[in-house]
Amino acid sequence: MNNEGERFRPIWIDHASDVVKVIDQRALPHEQIDMTLNSVEQVIFAIKDMVVRGAPLIGVTGAYGIFIALKNDKSNDNEAYIKNAAEKIINARPTAVNLSWGVNRMLTAVLSEQDPTRRIDIARRVAGEIAEEEVENSKNIGRHGVKLIEEIARKKPGQPVNILTHCNAGSLACIEYGTATAPIYAAREKGIDVHVWVDETRPLNQGARLTAWELGKYGVPHTVITDNAGGHLMQHNLVDMVIVGTDRSTYTGDVANKIGTYLKALAAKDNNIPFYVALPSSTFDWTIADGVADIPIEIRDPDEVRYIPGAPKSRDTLLVPENSPAANYAFDVTPARLVTAFITERGVCRACESDVKRLFPEKC
Residues at the interface with ligand MRU (CB under 6 A): 53-56, 167, 169, 173-174, 179, 206, 245-247, 257-258, 330
Cβ closest to ligand MRU, residue 55 vs residue 343: 55
Q: Minimal distance in Å, beta carbon 52 to ligand MRU?
A: 8
Cβ closest to ligand MRU, residue 46 vs residue 55: 55
CA–CA separation, 176 vs 153, rounded Å?
A: 25
Residues 6+ apart with CB under 8 A from 331: 95, 247, 256, 257, 258, 259, 261, 295, 297, 298
Cβ closest to ligand MRU, residue 44 vs residue 123: 44
The half-sphere exposure of 174 on its side-chain side, counting CA atoms within 13 A, is: 34
148-162 burial, b at 16+ Cβ within 10 Å, e below that, comes to: bbeebbeeeeeeebb
Cβ closest to ligand MRU, residue 122 vs residue 170: 170
Q: Minimal distance in Å, beta carbon 160 to ligand MRU?
A: 23
Residues 6+ apart with CB under 8 A from 329: 259, 297, 298, 299
Within its chain, how far is the Cα of 213 from the centroid?
Answer: 16
Residue from 215, 211, 213, 246 nearest 227 by CA: 211
For Cα atoms 22, 24, 28, give the angle at the middle one, nearest 5 degrees: 135
Q: Minimal distance in Å, beta carbon 77 to ligand MRU?
A: 33
Q: Minimal distance in Å, beta carbon 195 to ligand MRU?
A: 20
Q: Minimal distance in Å, beta carbon 56 to ligand MRU?
A: 6
C-alpha distances in angstroms, 174 versus 52, 79, 111, 181? 10, 30, 27, 10
Say whether the peptide bond before residue 29 is cis (omega within 30 degrees of 0): yes
Helix (H) or strand (E) holding 341: strand 341-344
Count of CB atoms within 10 A of residue 352's CB? 17
Cβ closest to ligand MRU, residue 102 vs residue 245: 245
- 270 noted as active-site residue: no
204 close to 54: Cβ distance less than 8 angstroms = no
Say whether the peptide bond before residue 203 is cis (omega within 30 degrees of 0): yes
320 close to 306: Cβ distance less than 8 angstroms = yes
Residue of this chain nearest to ligand MRU (CB atom): 245
CA–CA separation, 57 vs 175, rounded Å?
A: 7
Q: Minimal distance in Å, beta carbon 276 to ligand MRU?
A: 13
C-alpha distances in angstroms, 325 versus 49, 228, 318, 356? 21, 22, 12, 41
Which residue out of 199, 227, 247, 254 is catalytically annotated? 247
Q: Which residues carry out catalysis? A: 247
